[in-house]
Amino acid sequence: MSRRAVIISGGILYEELIEKTIGECEDPCIIGVDKGVEFLYRHRIQPSYIVGDFDSLSQEIVDYYKNETHVSVREYNPVKDASDTEIAVRLAITLGCHEMVILGATGSRIDHLWANIQTLTIPFKAGVEAVILDPQNKIRLIGGETHLRKEEAFGDYFSVFPLGEPVFGFSIRGAKYPLTEHTLTPYDSLCVSNQIEEDEVVIDFVSGIVILMETRDGR
């Protein structure tokens, strides 16, 4: 049975979503990332690992995990070549997790969000299913034929963007705005806010990596 990693990063965190995500897993590998560690500490959720430079975390919390628990602490110099979330993602892969959900990866800092979306490339290339999740957004990378079933849809809308380079032979079937053999380029907004029209949408393309965002309005 594949183990799921639940990574609690340092962006905006939603208590209900975190508790639901952890509760749906059997024996999850919970990795707290820098400021996300404070959330786990305050809500008495025991992580498997905590990672980061801890520059936004009180020394009291760091000392608690180091001295009063058996949680594995991976502390890094603030001057490093990877973000704390990337370090957590790589750790989850090293631990053999075949799925990962990243929470707290979105928020007011668009630079952090974009870095986290690009970080999804690491598990994607390792064959690990990974998703960034918050109450309004589900973000993942896809590399070929993908089905979105209307009855299982995360939200009312979906958008697709190429990651890094044009995507050739791109088609969408079963959507309000279908496409056939289109070249998806990094600089157009053609594929924003599409909707599932039929029982399912099929997204297919010949080459490249596509960012798939399933979204819904705030409630």
pTM of the model: 0.93
DSSP string, 197-209: -SSEEEEE-SSS-
In our burial notation (b when 16+ CB lie closer than 10 A, e otherwise), range 42-60 reads: eeebebbbbbbbbeebeee
- Residue 3 DSSP class: P
Q: In the chain, which ranges are continuous DSSP H helix?
A: 15-23, 35-42, 59-68, 84-94, 110-119, 121-125
| pLDDT of the chain, 219 residues: tens digit per residue | 468 999 999 899 999 999 999 999 888 999 999 889 999 999 999 999 999 888 888 999 999 999 999 999 998 877 676 888 999 999 999 999 999 999 999 988 899 899 999 999 999 999 999 999 999 999 999 998 999 999 999 999 999 999 989 999 999 999 999 999 999 998 888 999 999 999 999 999 999 999 999 999 876
Six token digits for residue 162: 């190429």
> 67: buried, middle or exposed (CB in 10 Å: 19+, 13-18, 0-12)?
exposed
Measured at the CA of 158, the angle between CA 210 and CA 93, to 5 degrees, comes to 45
